[in-house]
Amino acid sequence: MRRVIITGASGGIGAALARHYARGGALLGLIARRQAALEELAAQLSTPLQIYAVDVRDTAAMRAAAADFLTRHGCPDIVIANAGVSTGTLTEFPEDLTAFKDVLDINVVGMVQTFQPYIGAMRAAGRGALVGIASVAGYRGLPGAAAYSASKAA
């Protein structure tokens, strides 16, 4: 049975990935900020799973979720860093600085915080895949989405 961790699992691509891997009988670790949405998704899936209501910006909570999953289920086969946000930003406006920081913290640092707690176990097991969800915005940039485009290029 494959073991798959997915951040941003409460909606969109993350929920679709959870459904996809559940159909294949994978054991899932679903991470997102919204507890109720995670519970609703979990109720729809007929596969073993753990849910973690965690913000990828919270280092301690991400490490605790990883430690719990590793203790209960062992090394994951796939860790998918899917959590991400986009908001309109134009570099010329000072008030956009906070939005830039939030987008980069979630989309870039959050990805690192998703992967980091599992790397040692994957290395020791000699297997595992780290998957970061990309966007065409990282290659081409989108007007009015400078922070998102920069985060996806990262």
Distance CA 87, CA 81 (A): 19
Which residue among the candidates 21, 52, 118, 148 is catalytic per the annotation?
A: 148
Cβ neighbourhood burial of 44 (10 Å; 0-12, 13-18, 19+):
exposed
Q: What angle do CA 83, 86, 92 make, to 5 degrees?
A: 145
Q: Which residues contact 139 (CB under 8 A, 6 or more apart)?
A: 153
In the residue annotation, 148 being an active-site residue is answered as yes
Active site residues: 148
